[in-house]
Structure 1
């Protein structure tokens, strides 16, 4: 009876419409049908037209490679996304080779409290980010893509999702600071569930799985006595952040290494122009602080780079008789600044003698050298790269070194670097000009000009009964900077700052043009002689209105100027007495009779087809410290082993210039952390001893290892002295990419 009642009830119910699952199954079946028909039709068309089989195999190979490339990228993005959405404990347990910064460095602190705050305010940040993308990023990316003949770029939907950025660690500096500033570094990582759609050449696409990772520096200055106690913020990336994303929608067919690399490059360029050194994102917090104090550039110094040559590069070209040579060129990167050398045909030992200069607002940045093999088709191949902490150059004043190339089987480059601090002493100008004349390149500078443009007043109309859309161009020498466009106003407010290298302040000029973006017409101009600042107090002019030429009768531009003279951070005679650390550190053989040990002379770097030794100058001890290590290893007067002292771990702190001391008078406080002494034994296992120096660069994500010496290798045959060398691998992978090999040391134990 009960079953009959159930049947009656069920039969009395009205017929339900097809469920969404059934509809989805029907659509899926139709999609599979047409997909198979298209595949069969393509095969039939190839046979009917009697085309070559390459027309069939070529697209299949490209499709397989594309799918594999996308799977690898998707795996990497999903892994990062899971790490961003999970707790930090799960990240540590799940992926031990990508630990947060606070695990490695005791001065980097966890910031879980900050992550909770970011999660709470993230919905409000979404609104600000949408305005930023629409007003700043969109026109800049569209202009950059136009250089690649890709037009019509426009954002349609911008949703950053619910996953907030994570802070891997925070480091607050407490030394070498002025009293009115707070400086901290934030390891920022974003891997969210954003949904961004755009239009490019009438193709609709989207960006998902956006990931950004970089080291952000936040400078809080000046400190004031009223709430909020901080006058403003300066936010910027120390180096170009790592940016990755996935293209979806109709643009998915363009998600190939070529197009996606172009789009990624354009986005990175625009981010660099906004907030990668030397560019900053200033935020004013108090009306008591003049805007010029936040936005006026404050360079710390100038890094002069001389890329001399390279040796033993890889051979990438293919000739009729086998492997040919390469056509190498180099790209030098410091923050957002980049330079490119000319390429040299058929040469694996090229000599460029390329000079360039970088204005730096902090020395906590990385110098990166990337080498490529030039190809007429535009498919340039990588020959390796190297990097160097600029703080090393700041400490010594000068650094002449050979850099072993990474991500290459062999090869190295010669660099000569010098650090120039800035001064307002006019008497230093003649010395700076003389130095540039001695180098004879004709393009080096003797001063730095900082320019702050506040606003323009009462500009003329570019069109009848229509206000202009003005923007500025500022030119000093060969460098030109362009401001953003201010729409529909004759009193535009810019509040922007720039820094220019000046070859000769006595004859160079600052040229400013005010242009209309719609008509391209000129609204006014100003030519300012930089020599005028040489007569001003502190070589500066603060917030002065200047009349524009070829403009309206009352048209003015309000700006501030400051001139600084370059002064080398080390004296020439000091540098000649004590040259910087050599690229290869070799310790002398242990003397048989007790005798006073003489300082070892640095050998010249050897050229070999084998992978070069670990001779990165960041890891090489300065010469006086090498002497201390050698003296610690062996006291020549007593032939007794003494405790070895290690160098204090270096951290990238913002430092004000300190007068350099002679390397021979290096204070003993640089040597700390005593460890057990090196005895004359062969160790517990009887296999000998090895002396290493290890250092990890957080910003560069690189482990530097220096092999100083090996001692007391057991000999099976005392009459047969070996020719030892050292191989190093990174565990647990033990991959070929991590393999490093030193040079062979003949007949030593």
Structure 2
């Protein structure tokens, strides 16, 4: 056997040697003509006197395209492997892309649902082909036509054998009506689809399609007969992430810019179908009226005021180097999107842009603001990315009004100023005058005072545009400046639409709704209806259900059957009944300072900000107890031990060493209510805000005698961002009275010290007790949080020859803290233990 193995091994290496020694004739001819082609191309370029750019341009473009496709192919293969693997393999292979049930305890595993999906996938495959052909294809073709790309048409649609996976299911059991069931499904598809299409008479295809998003399933109403549920409503809370690979003749378009154009068109059409406020209804019982499933049900209106931005990145290149930027912003809420104008040569633009978003689910929806640097070209694909911020709408609902600066993520510098308010909906006519008055106070903005929901059931007895043939009717519905178009019903004079829309109304007393019935075949108008919205003010509960109305400029018996409902915007107030989506964390827009303690009659309350340390040990840097001198200091500054608004926190110590008795942060929070003035705008009359006052809370210079630093730590489970606030430093030793330090704080995220993870505060001149109150953030996956540290270094600018000597240093191990709550703690400054950069 050993000799056989040896012979086999020898034969394996013998064949290549023989081929090299005796190359074939075809191989020689191929190499000859290859050399001739290269030399001929170089000769042709010189003969035609072409610029060298004709050679370098395609080469550079090809290299960039190959690199981009290499990264994209890696992500697609990784996602496809995850879709084919078992749940155990996914957990072991990719800790930073774990399913939702790993991170959130209220999200349940759903492997049983994945097995069901695998079984029914062939049937779903057939339905998806019909959906792509009848709904997606005409919409994408129309969208691409706006970019002079005509003739889009699907040829082959095969979604493959890999079924979607469900990462987790969350079922809501609080704040629900008794006749509905709501659950969120984390759905992920990375299949082996094969979709071919024609674009501009060029054949192409889509492979490696990936879709990932949180889909909400609403089962309502519950009935007492089988199937026990009257219908379903399916929709994505926010735009799902979609990625794919172009193949075929259009493979040349598979590069940044061109492929983004097609991707954006597909995302837009998916959003129009089933991204809030759009829903995909499915009727399960004939006993349930269709209007109950398809009538829009907005919960409120989010009013957004994008004020300005500061310190944006410089993306334009000038003759002298880096220039400025021409920034504009895109605000997205579900399927709704707004774009500001661009401001030339300004990294501190002021837009003063207003918009309003209809919110159908305040639980789970987010508002995203992206900032771009405008560059002339075909659109957003050529523009430079300046960062984005994401804000949970439930935060605005809880606050009523929110005035916040948001740091831009995925950007080195920059932040935006947002003012937001939440307006619920009412059917009380007494709220209308106040809503109209509030909109008139804001100049240069067309704000709304009400929302009208329209349900279009059907049309009856439409006239024929041409004798002997039936029309292909569709409707256009216009309220104020917004227009919606229904689908086309082929060859019928009594079309059934069963579709609903919601429109923002500036003044329901004078605004009108206009509906036109159009024939797609001839382009002629078959009828028209002009309806004054003020008529709803006289209806009971401001509602009109399935009312037949005569069409104008149409046949004598032509009618349209409508359902209408008007709701008035209420003044923004603070709401506390919004269920938290994640474990309780402070508002991301508020400073990370201790919250006001609960009232108690037993003396000082115990603060919940306790670091997690191993049993029997005490953190070397964190504060432990309050000393007598500190208590005396607090009393001198007005502290009253019997007043629960002043908190003294004492943690048990496991050592008798005197050096372990260090004070704990005590911050006084006083609520002050601003008195609104008549001359103020609505957003200037802010809700009660927190004013933070810091007293002299410690007289200790720390274990090493280098001073102490007050830090706040918090981790956002939803956005997976670590927030660190540097509040102040106390008791820096003054060795030379003639040389007072100019302290500043430098932070690094470890391991992997890099310039990208470096953060730095401003310099405070001539101070041994500087106050900064600056917030910094890092994007860290939850799975990596336990292995990270934050290095905090305090230095002074008054060094020899402009150097920055280190005063002290703190290494914060993040695995010692439970980040379900914010942590605000004193840390002792220790001698420097690591090299600086």
Give TM class, smaller chain.
0.7 to 0.9
Q: Report the equivalent of 2:418.
A: 415
Q: Report the equivalent of 1:168.
A: 167
Once residues 435 and 542 of structure 2 are traced to their aligned partners in structure 1, the CA distance between those partners, rounded to angstroms, is: 16
Q: Report the equivalent of 1:593.
A: 633
1:443 maps to 2:449: no
* 1:733 Cα offset (Å): 5.5
Structure 2: tracts of 5 or more residues without a match? 1-23, 576-586, 596-629, 652-661, 668-686, 691-697, 771-837
Is contact 2:221-2:231 (8 Å) kept?
A: yes
Return closer, same or farther for 1:326/1:213 CA change in 2, 3 Å cut-off.
same
Alignment of 1:173-252 (within 5 A): 173-252=172-251
Is contact 1:168-1:187 (8 Å) kept?
A: yes
2:647 to 623, 628, 631: 631
Q: Report the equivalent of 1:328.
A: 327
Q: What are the Cα deviations for residues 511-548 of structure 1, in whole angstroms up to 9, with x where unaligned?
A: 00000112110010101110010010110001111111
2:712 to 685, 688, 692: 692
Is contact 1:694-1:704 (8 Å) kept?
A: yes
1:367 maps to 2:393: no
Return closer, same or farther for 1:123/1:348 CA change in 2, 3 Å cut-off.
same
Q: What are the Cα deviations for residues 126-184 of structure 1, in whole angstroms up to 9, with x where unaligned?
A: 00000000000000000000001001111110000011111111111111111111111
- Of 45-54 and 173-182, more deviation after overlay is shown by 45-54
For 2:553, what is the secondary structure of its paired residue?
A: coil
Structure 1: tracts of 5 or more residues without a match? 1-24, 573-579, 600-626, 645-661, 666-677
* 1:40 Cα offset (Å): 4.9
For 2:444, what is the secondary structure of its paired residue?
A: coil
Q: Report the equivalent of 2:61.
A: 62
Q: Report the equivalent of 1:517.
A: 520
The size of the alignment, in residue pairs, is: 658
* 1:468 Cα offset (Å): 0.7
Considering only aligned residues, what root-mean-square deviation do their CA atoms show, in Å?
3.5
Once residues 103 and 716 of structure 1 are traced to their aligned partners in structure 2, the CA distance between those partners, rounded to angstroms, is: 50
* 1:83 Cα offset (Å): 0.7
1:432 maps to 2:435: yes
* 1:52 Cα offset (Å): 3.1
Once residues 30 and 230 of structure 2 are traced to their aligned partners in structure 1, the CA distance between those partners, rounded to angstroms, is: 61
Is contact 2:706-2:733 (8 Å) kept?
A: no
Once residues 128 and 266 of structure 2 are traced to their aligned partners in structure 1, the CA distance between those partners, rounded to angstroms, is: 15
1:461 to 453, 464, 474: 464
Q: Which has the higher contact order (CA 8 A, sep 6+)?
A: 1
Is contact 2:705-2:733 (8 Å) kept?
A: no
Once residues 64 and 169 of structure 1 are traced to their aligned partners in structure 2, the CA distance between those partners, rounded to angstroms, is: 40
Return closer, same or farther for 1:632/1:545 CA change in 2, 3 Å cut-off.
farther
Return closer, same or farther for 1:317/1:545 CA change in 2, 3 Å cut-off.
same
Is contact 2:592-2:712 (8 Å) kept?
A: no
* 1:49 Cα offset (Å): 2.6
Alignment of 1:507-546 (within 5 A): 507-546=510-549
Once residues 322 and 271 of structure 1 are traced to their aligned partners in structure 2, the CA distance between those partners, rounded to angstroms, is: 42
Is contact 2:744-2:761 (8 Å) kept?
A: no
For 2:569, what is the secondary structure of its paired residue?
A: strand
For 2:487, what is the secondary structure of its paired residue?
A: coil
Once residues 26 and 534 of structure 1 are traced to their aligned partners in structure 2, the CA distance between those partners, rounded to angstroms, is: 90
Once residues 377 and 366 of structure 1 are traced to their aligned partners in structure 2, the CA distance between those partners, rounded to angstroms, is: 30
For 2:252, what is the secondary structure of its paired residue?
A: helix
Is contact 1:240-1:272 (8 Å) kept?
A: yes
* 1:402 Cα offset (Å): 0.8
Q: Report the equivalent of 2:580.
A: none
Once residues 28 and 480 of structure 1 are traced to their aligned partners in structure 2, the CA distance between those partners, rounded to angstroms, is: 65
* 1:560 Cα offset (Å): 0.4
* 1:264 Cα offset (Å): 0.3
Q: Report the equivalent of 2:794.
A: none
Return closer, same or farther for 1:119/1:427 CA change in 2, 3 Å cut-off.
same
Once residues 27 and 568 of structure 1 are traced to their aligned partners in structure 2, the CA distance between those partners, rounded to angstroms, is: 82
1:723 maps to 2:723: no
1:703 maps to 2:721: yes
Q: Report the equivalent of 2:140.
A: 141
Once residues 515 and 66 of structure 1 are traced to their aligned partners in structure 2, the CA distance between those partners, rounded to angstroms, is: 45
Once residues 108 and 523 of structure 1 are traced to their aligned partners in structure 2, the CA distance between those partners, rounded to angstroms, is: 51
For 1:568, what is the secondary structure of its paired residue?
A: coil
* 1:323 Cα offset (Å): 2.9
Return closer, same or farther for 1:259/1:321 CA change in 2, 3 Å cut-off.
closer
Once residues 175 and 135 of structure 1 are traced to their aligned partners in structure 2, the CA distance between those partners, rounded to angstroms, is: 39
Is contact 2:701-2:732 (8 Å) kept?
A: no
Is contact 1:447-1:505 (8 Å) kept?
A: yes
Is contact 2:742-2:763 (8 Å) kept?
A: no
* 1:571 Cα offset (Å): 7.7
Return closer, same or farther for 1:490/1:743 CA change in 2, 3 Å cut-off.
farther
* 1:723 Cα offset (Å): 2.1
Once residues 645 and 129 of structure 2 are traced to their aligned partners in structure 1, the CA distance between those partners, rounded to angstroms, is: 56
Return closer, same or farther for 1:406/1:218 CA change in 2, 3 Å cut-off.
same
Once residues 104 and 744 of structure 1 are traced to their aligned partners in structure 2, the CA distance between those partners, rounded to angstroms, is: 39
Is contact 1:273-1:279 (8 Å) kept?
A: yes
Please give the TM-score of this superposition, normalised by the length of structure 1. Answer: 0.81
Once residues 516 and 224 of structure 1 are traced to their aligned partners in structure 2, the CA distance between those partners, rounded to angstroms, is: 40
Once residues 29 and 690 of structure 1 are traced to their aligned partners in structure 2, the CA distance between those partners, rounded to angstroms, is: 75
Please give the TM-score of this superposition, normalised by the length of structure 2. Answer: 0.73
For 1:108, what is the secondary structure of its paired residue?
A: coil
Return closer, same or farther for 1:44/1:393 CA change in 2, 3 Å cut-off.
same
Once residues 705 and 186 of structure 2 are traced to their aligned partners in structure 1, the CA distance between those partners, rounded to angstroms, is: 42
Q: What are the Cα deviations for residues 578-614 of structure 1, in whole angstroms up to 9, with x where unaligned?
A: xx997656799x9982248789xxxxxxxxxxxxxxx
* 1:100 Cα offset (Å): 1.4
Return closer, same or farther for 1:210/1:683 CA change in 2, 3 Å cut-off.
farther
Once residues 507 and 319 of structure 1 are traced to their aligned partners in structure 2, the CA distance between those partners, rounded to angstroms, is: 52
1:506 maps to 2:509: yes
Once residues 258 and 126 of structure 1 are traced to their aligned partners in structure 2, the CA distance between those partners, rounded to angstroms, is: 30
Once residues 82 and 688 of structure 1 are traced to their aligned partners in structure 2, the CA distance between those partners, rounded to angstroms, is: 50
* 1:679 Cα offset (Å): 13
